[in-house]
Structures are given as C-alpha cells and as structure tokens.
C-alpha cells in the first residue's frame, strides 16, 4: 500500500526558510524510474509544480522558484525533503508531495497536503 | 516553460450530461498529458495519463484524447460525484506545468 505524508511547520515568518518532509511507504525511491515531486496550491488557486527528484538523484525545479528551492532524498528513511528560502506571504499554500512510478506514468499517489501560512 | 491553457474555466452541467474539457499546450507535448480531479480540501486524484490511458479504478465514463498540443477530457454521463475541479498537466519536459483548472458545477 503506497502512502505519502507531508510534514513541516504550519506557520512561518517572512524571509525565513521552510523545510518540508515527505515520508512515504509502499515503494522505494531507489527503484529505477521512481520519482517524488512537490506541488503547491495557494488557497482558491490552481496547482503549481515545484520540484522533482528521481531515483538516480537527478533533480528538476520550477523556473520561477529554482533559486529558492532545494530538493533532496534520504532513501534509507524513505523521505524527500524540500527546502524553500526567503519566504513571502504569497508562498502561503497547501504543499503536496506525490510520486511517479516510472516512464510514461503520471502522479498516481499523493499525500494529503500540509497548509503552510507565511506571516509578514 | 510550456504553458497549459484549459477551457472553459467554469462549466455548469446537469447529471447525465456529456461534458468535455479542453487543454491546449503552447508547444507539442506528444502524449505526455495527465488529467486530475480535485475536490475541495482533498488532494488531486489521477484520472488519465499518457493522454488517453485510464488510471486503474477510475470509472469508464472518463476518457481522454488528443496528442501534440490539443487534448480533451470527456465525461460521458456526469454523475453527482463528478462535481469537482479538473486539471491537466504536461510531463513531456521540465519544468512540468498544470493548467489553471476547470470547475464543473451543478446546473
């Protein structure tokens, strides 16, 4: 059974750094083709793709946010960590992690999301 | 970045209606397109991947078509459980991008 769960602070202040952890089970990020990604959604707005890490440690980032994002994995702990620097109130959103199983597949399992509010 | 444009933004339909949502990519993405359904307060749910492949467990009233730059999601007979917001997403190249969403409302 595949599950993903996001964890991190619910409230952060402007200019601070946010660290979110995605803890998953039911699959291994060392399996060829496996990926974990982060997506966010500001209240009432659309989904926004943020970053992705592949099984072989290749990493990809949103063009507009790449200077502020870092994604990493700890395969032994079944965790993926997303760090976002220099937060602003516009970064207030629900942050989701999700997995992609391999070539040709899409995001088939998602966490329930974690709401992060950035205060000024 | 590849831009994904959905139309319409909002759609009002009745139970039993046939519903079609369109997604256009700013450049060719071959068939690397997914459709998701999202209900309020919930995570998105994968419906369709590779433009027309139905995800396991998804009702057959959902179907996807298209390739290149134009894609459609069709619900053959709208059911009460289908009222939600639908998003397309391209995964042809990084950075991945989502459409702005189409909200399907009760008429």
Round to whole Å and give the CA distance between B55 and B34: 10
Round to whole Å and give the CA distance between B55 and B48: 6
pLDDT tens per residue across span A62-87: 999 999 999 999 999 999 999 999 99
pLDDT tens per residue across span A27-47: 999 999 999 999 999 999 999
φ and ψ at B80, to 5 degrees?
A: -55, -30
CB A108 within 8 A of CB A99: yes
- Tell whether B39 is within 8 A of chain A (Cβ): no
Q: Which residues of A touch B100 (CB under 8 A)?
A: 46
The reply to whether residue B45 touches residue A63, judged by beta carbons under 8 angstroms, is: no
CB B70 within 8 A of CB B24: yes
The reply to whether residue A110 touches residue B45, judged by beta carbons under 8 angstroms, is: yes
How would you write the pLDDT of chain B (107 residues) with one tens digit per residue? 999 999 999 999 999 999 999 999 999 999 999 999 999 999 999 999 999 999 999 999 999 999 999 999 999 999 999 999 999 999 999 999 999 999 999 88
Q: Which residues of A touch B43 (CB under 8 A)?
A: 96, 98, 110-113
Q: Name the β-bridge partners of A97.
A: A38
């Amino acid at each position: 059974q595949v599950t993903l769960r996001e964890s991190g602070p619910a409230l952060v202040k402007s200019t601070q750094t946010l660290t979110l952890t995605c803890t998953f089970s039911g699959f291994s990020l060392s399996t060829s083709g496996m990926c974990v990604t982060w997506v966010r959604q500001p209240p009432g707005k659309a989904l926004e793709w943020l970053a992705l890490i592949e099984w072989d440690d290749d990493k990809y980032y949103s063009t507009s946010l790449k200077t502020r994002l870092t994604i990493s994995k700890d395969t032994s702990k079944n965790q993926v960590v997303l760090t976002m620097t220099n937060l602003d109130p516009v970064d207030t959103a629900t942050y989701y992690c999700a997995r992609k199983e391999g070539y040709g597949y899409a995001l088939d399992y998602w966490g329930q999301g974690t709401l992060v509010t950035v205060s000024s | 970045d590849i831009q994904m444009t959905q139309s319409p933004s909002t759609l009002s339909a009745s139970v039993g209606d046939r519903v079609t949502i369109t997604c256009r990519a700013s450049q060719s993405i071959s068939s690397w397109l997914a459709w998701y359904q999202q209900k309020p307060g919930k995570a998105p749910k994968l419906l369709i991947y590779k433009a027309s492949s139905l995800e396991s467990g998804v009702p057959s009233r959902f179907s996807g078509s298209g390739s290149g730059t134009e894609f459609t999601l069709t619900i053959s007979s709208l059911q009460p459980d289908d009222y939600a917001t639908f998003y397309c997403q391209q995964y042809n190249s990084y950075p991945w991008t989502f459409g702005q969403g189409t909200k399907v409302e009760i008429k």
